[in-house]
Amino acid sequence: MLIIDGHLDLASSAVGKNRNLTLSVPEIRKSEVDKIHRRGGWGTNTVSFYEMRRGEVAVCLATCNPLRGYASFDIAHATARGNLAYYQFLESQDQIRIIKDWDALDNHFEEWKNIKDEEKLIGVILAMEGSDGIVKPNMLKTWYDNGLRVFSLVHYGKNIFAHGTSSTGGLTKLGKELLEEMHSIGAILDISHLSEDSFWEALDLFSGPVIATHNNCRALVPGDRQLSDSQIQTLIQREAVIGIGLDAWMLYPGWIKGETSNSVVSLEAVADHMYHVCKLAHKSSNVAIGSDLDGGYGTEQCPFDLDTIADLQKIPKLLRKRNYIEDDIENIMHRNWLRFFKNIWQTN
């Protein structure tokens, strides 16, 4: 079954960690064996273009991220631009296809149904996780013109736009201005990582399209990184799609990074979070995959029954066990993301 993944840090993994994603996962792991096992290392890799093709991951939202903990805005901007350059080069080498509008997405998806695996290009919708790389609201259009379509305001802590995970507080003046710019050009707001106050303030001020690319349910795993039921219900009312992440600390209550064994969590936990969103929505139209695989962690911090991104194909079987009908399963695996982008891009 074809998959759309709502969040992959492909460029950060490649450029930041010197990973050649055109290699197979075993080849990447062999090249990183010393880094993986060193304390504080990168974790065991799960994503490569070969594994995405094998797992029928036809499209992903791929991020252009500024360097975390950047010392100056020129560094934030330059590292995000470097991520963009990586995707542009991959496209020139026929490894990926950068998707900017509905016709391109629709045609790409149809192509994946009809050609051989080894000939398939990975479709990417470009996003920015934490908009520090934009630097100033009036620079947003340049990023949009270069192909980015989805923007989140902040990552961890506070930046010049908003408060994020592990911090408290609302939007800044620049954050409000950035939302105005986003609305004016038709950009999509990703509410991932927003603090509680920033979340509610952003949704109150921004009337454009919103999504949650990689978020799980606070009712199942407590913590400010997760979405409360009231947040989920508000996103449902806004016709948003919520991508469920695979980071184990977002799936297992009380997970301690570097200590808890992933033997305690399986892909069943992913299905639990999907079910919770479906239950709140009374339908399957608002939940999808937003795996965040290799987003600062590896297999050691994934469900134990996932070795590579191709194992996302285990999710349909888990949903069938829970009596989901095929229409609902296809919604979750790809159709909800397709429907969202169709609705947004065909009206712009």
Q: What is the reported pLDDT for 348?
A: 65
Q: CA dist 100 to 5, 65, 150, Å?
A: 16, 18, 10
pLDDT in tens, 278-302: 999 999 999 999 999 999 899 999 9
Dist. CA 80–CA 147, nearest whole Å: 13
- The rounded mean pLDDT for the chain is 95
Full-model pTM: 0.97
Distance CA(245)–CA(216), nearest Å, equals: 6
**CA angle centred on 57, ends 51 and 58, rounded to 5°:** 125
pLDDT class of 307 with cuts at 50, 70, 90: very high
Domain ranges of the chain: 3-345
- What contacts 250, CB < 8 A, 6 or more positions away? 216, 221, 223, 225, 226
- Average pLDDT estimate for 2-24: 96
User: What are the start-end ranges of the E strands in the chain?
Assistant: 3-8, 57-63, 96-98, 122-128, 148-152, 188-190, 210-211, 242-244, 287-289
Long-range contacts formed by 72-76: CB under 8 A, 24+ apart? 73/132, 73/135, 76/132, 76/133, 76/135
Angle at 67 between CA 64 and CA 68, to 5 degrees: 115
pLDDT tens column, 20-73: 999 999 999 999 887 665 445 678 999 999 999 999 999 999 999 998 889 899
pLDDT at 169 over 50: yes
If one compares 236 and 348, the residue with the highest pLDDT of the two is 236
CB count in 10 Å sphere of residue 186: 14
Neighbours of 190 (CB within 10 A): 29
- Residue ranges of alpha helices (H) inside 146-195 are 173-185
Residue 257 CA, chain-centre distance (Å), reads: 20
In whole angstroms, what is the distance from residue 54 CA to residue 196 CA? 38
- Over the stretch 184-238, which tens digit does the pLDDT of each residue have? 999 999 999 999 999 999 999 999 999 999 999 999 999 999 999 999 999 999 9
pLDDT digits (tens, 9 = 90+) for 225-252: 999 999 999 999 999 999 999 999 999 9
Cβ proximity of 6 and 60 under 8 Å: yes
Provide the 3-class DSSP secondary structure of residue 249: helix
Task: Let me know: does 128 contact 146? Beta carbons within 8 Å.
Answer: no
The CATH code that applies to domain 3-345 is 3.20.20.140
pLDDT > 90? residue 119: no
* Contact yes or no for 42/93 (Cβ under 8 A): no
pLDDT score of 87: 98
Q: Of 222, 224, 244, nearest to 292 (Cα)? A: 244
The SS3 assignment for 187 reads: coil
CA proximity to 54, closest of 120, 153, 144, 134: 120
Q: Considering only CA atoms, which of 287, 292, 294 is closest in space to residue 271?
A: 287
- What is the distance in angstroms between the CA of the first residue and the CA of the last residue of the chain? 29
